Amino acid sequence: PSSELLETVKELKDDDALGSIGTELGLNKLIRFLPINHIQLQEAKKNGQLIMRSGETSVTGGVLLALIGAIYHEKGALTAKNFIHTFILPKHRVCMELRRDK
């Protein structure tokens, strides 16, 4: 239904939703992301503190969006559409099911 399509588009516009999908695809492992400096990180580890990589999800979402744009720019709309249907939408469905189960 069209309402389901609109909801999917709305969800996929969110950097955190795209970030979750990008993480599922392993993009976060390709990004050098360190929101705090090395000394702070070592100090936190020494004190047994868990440091969340704050902002990593939204950055990963931005990277995924840039990747889709690059595919579109270099290979055209059909290739970008195929990429989205092959890699993005299946992961999106899994992420949405996990969110609903919580």
**Predicted pLDDT of residue 71:** 95
**Predicted pLDDT of residue 94:** 67
Total structural domains in the chain? Answer: 1
User: Taken in order 77, 82, 87, 88, is the CA torsion positive or negative?
Assistant: positive
- Residue 102 CA to residue 93 CA, distance in Å, equals 15
For residues 10 and 77, the model is more confident at 77
Query: Residue 37: helix, strand or coil by DSSP?
Result: coil
Digit-coded pLDDT (tens) for 46-65: 888 766 556 888 889 889 98
To the nearest 10°, the Cα dihedral for 36, 41, 43, 47? Answer: 120
Range of the domain at 54: 2-101
**Predicted pLDDT of residue 37:** 73
Digit-coded pLDDT (tens) for 3-51: 776 777 777 777 778 888 999 999 999 988 766 777 877 888 888 876 6
Give the list of residues 6+ apart from residue 20 with CB closer than 8 angstroms, or none: 57, 61, 91, 95
**Predicted pLDDT of residue 98:** 59
CB atoms within 10 A of CB 94: 13
**Predicted pLDDT of residue 13:** 75
Of the candidates 34, 44, 11, 25, the one whose C-alpha atom is nearest the C-alpha of residue 88 is: 25
For residues 101 and 20, the model is more confident at 20
**Predicted pLDDT of residue 74:** 97
